[in-house]
Structure 1
Amino acid sequence: MKPQSVIILALAVIAVNATLGTDVSTAVSTSEWSCLKSNSRVFTIIRGYQSVGRVDPNVVQNIKNARAGGQADVDVYIFPCVNCGNPAGQAEALVSAIKGQNYGMIWIDVEVYQWSSSLTSNQAFITTMANTLRNLGQHVGIYTSYYNWQSIVGLSWSGVSWAPLWYAHYDNNPSFSDFQAFGGWKSPAMKQYNGSSTICGVGVDLDWY
């Protein structure tokens, strides 16, 4: 096989293995999830905890609807309330609320919003939340971006690099070709490549792995 053919074949394999999905922060019906699936969006990450300091009231029904609508993989994310304190309690509240539901991972959302000006304080908050989730038997991931991580905890801090990384970069390019290593992560697990889109009448962010 010629080298050019090898390259073409490799690109074809990447295209075949690419998986498209969404993340949502509002209530989505079963029919809307089915429509998303028909538009090749086959996995989702649902908001499970709100930055105002409460479990998202839509999370349980959203998980059920997403499964009924044919979503192959359903995860949950927690948008922490930093001002509320008690990261362990927030993690425990979410896990308790979705106990028995058919979901995979819980992702901790680390983006610029009401975080402390102290990097070490933020590091401690994230560490406590991540370890609490892990101790509760959850599969934990981190959602962030290069610049959010830099601002909130510092690029060199790698305290939760044991968790998979879902990173945001709104270049409308479903690939990891843009990824820059940070926070101890050498490679990502998933990318959010569009932060504001509408499919099937549903407001979604677009994700890829």
Structure 2
Amino acid sequence: MGSTEELGTKGGKGVKGVDVSTLTSEASFRKMASQGVKFAIVRGYKSTGEVDPHVEATVANAWAAGMKHVDVYAFPRFSKGDGAGQVKALVQALKKTRYGMVWLDVEGPGAHWGSSQSANAAFFADWVHGAKGLGVNLGIYTSKSQWHPIMGSYTGGSSFPLWYTHYDGKQSFSDFSPFGGWTKPNIKQYAGDVELGGASVDLNWYPS
């Protein structure tokens, strides 16, 4: 478990944020805000193929604590199929909830996705099609090491904002190299499994 000191590690000006995968209280978010955290991204759909039952409460707690932006991320279940149906379930569960973007999580080759890159790409395209049909403001969470074994040379996600991961502890895009059709990122997840405000979070950054 990392320390809260990691929030201020190597980097320059920018906006700091967290993502969470468990129920997180307003008090915890307030403590994070007092340490410079401005945005939160909350898990909305679990890799088990169901809406996270804590997403509405955690999103509400983040807003109540004064977060400037609150988004949701979805970890899809490839083996369950029906990507469009999965995003529809998430959006329906959030119909009374205020949030910004939905980030589609593409990671876990071999564990959470299929062995066929073409089948993975087809599922991804179905998910994206469903999101577009529902008017979702969509982004993609992934990294070069995750995207390539899952999707191969597929570039069907590159028109959407990219939230990439590299645990180098640096609030900077200087480490980024193009992949999957993306030439520049939007958000970086630069540290994981950090204790902050009494909660377990990942740390994120984007330039202001």
- TM-score w.r.t. structure 2 length? 0.91
Q: May I ask how many residue pairs the two structures share in their alignment? A: 194
Query: What CA distance in whole angstroms lies between the structure 2 residues aligned with 1:133 and 1:189?
Result: 20
Matched, 1:199 2:193: no
Deviations 1:49-83 (A, max 9, x none): 00111100000011111100111100000001111
Query: What CA distance in whole angstroms lies between the structure 2 residues aligned with 1:27 and 1:114?
Result: 23
Higher helix share: 1
Q: In the TM superposition, what are the counterparts of 1:180-199 in structure 2 within 5 Å?
A: 180-199=177-196
Query: What CA distance in whole angstroms lies between the structure 2 residues aligned with 1:165 and 1:21?
Result: 15
Cross-structure match for 1:34: 30
Gaps of 5+ in 2: 1-10
Alpha-carbon shift at residue 133 of structure 1 (Å): 0.8
Q: In the TM superposition, what are the counterparts of 1:9-158 in structure 2 within 5 Å?
A: 15-16=12-13, 18-112=14-108, 113-154=111-152, 156-158=153-155
Query: What CA distance in whole angstroms lies between the structure 1 residues aligned with 2:100 and 2:167?
Result: 25
Deviations 1:139-164 (A, max 9, x none): 0000001110011001x321121110
Cross-structure match for 1:173: 170
Alpha-carbon shift at residue 127 of structure 1 (Å): 1.1
Alpha-carbon shift at residue 187 of structure 1 (Å): 0.2
Gaps of 5+ in 1: 1-13
Query: What CA distance in whole angstroms lies between the structure 2 residues aligned with 1:134 and 1:46?
Result: 20
Moved over 4 A (4+): none
Instruction: Please say if residues 47 and 112 of structure 2, whose CA atoms lie closer than 8 Å, have aligned partners that are also in contact.
Output: no
- Structure with max Cα Rg: 1
Q: Percent identity?
A: 46
Query: What CA distance in whole angstroms lies between the structure 1 residues aligned with 2:112 and 2:88?
Result: 21
Cross-structure match for 1:7: none
Amino acid in the other structure paired with 2:122:
A
Deviations 1:158-200 (A, max 9, x none): 1121110000011011110000100110000100001211111
- TM-score w.r.t. structure 1 length? 0.90
Cross-structure match for 2:3: none
Query: What CA distance in whole angstroms lies between the structure 1 residues aligned with 2:12 and 2:195?
Result: 23
Instruction: Name the structure, 1 or 2, with higher relative contact order (CA <8 Å, separation 6+).
Output: 2
Deviations 1:68-114 (A, max 9, x none): 01111000000011111111111000000001311000000000132
